[in-house]
Amino acid sequence: MAEIINKYETIFVLDADLDEEKTAALTEKFQKLIADNGTVESVDVWGKRRLAYPINYKTEGYYVLVNFSSGPEFPKELERIYGITDGVIRTLIVRKEN
Domain containing residue 79: CATH number: 3.30.70.60
- CB distance 82 to 12 below 8 Å: yes
Examine residue 32 and state whether it is found in any structural domain, yes or no: yes
Categorize the per-residue pLDDT at 98 as very low, low, confident or very high, splitting at 50, 70 and 90: low
Average pLDDT for the chain: 93
Domain assignment of residue 1, yes or no? no
Provide mean pLDDT across the span 68-97.
94
pTM for this one? 0.91
Q: Which residues of 79-94 are buried (b: 16+ CB within 10 A; e: fewer)?
A: eeebeeeeebbebebe
Q: Domain of 33?
A: 6-96
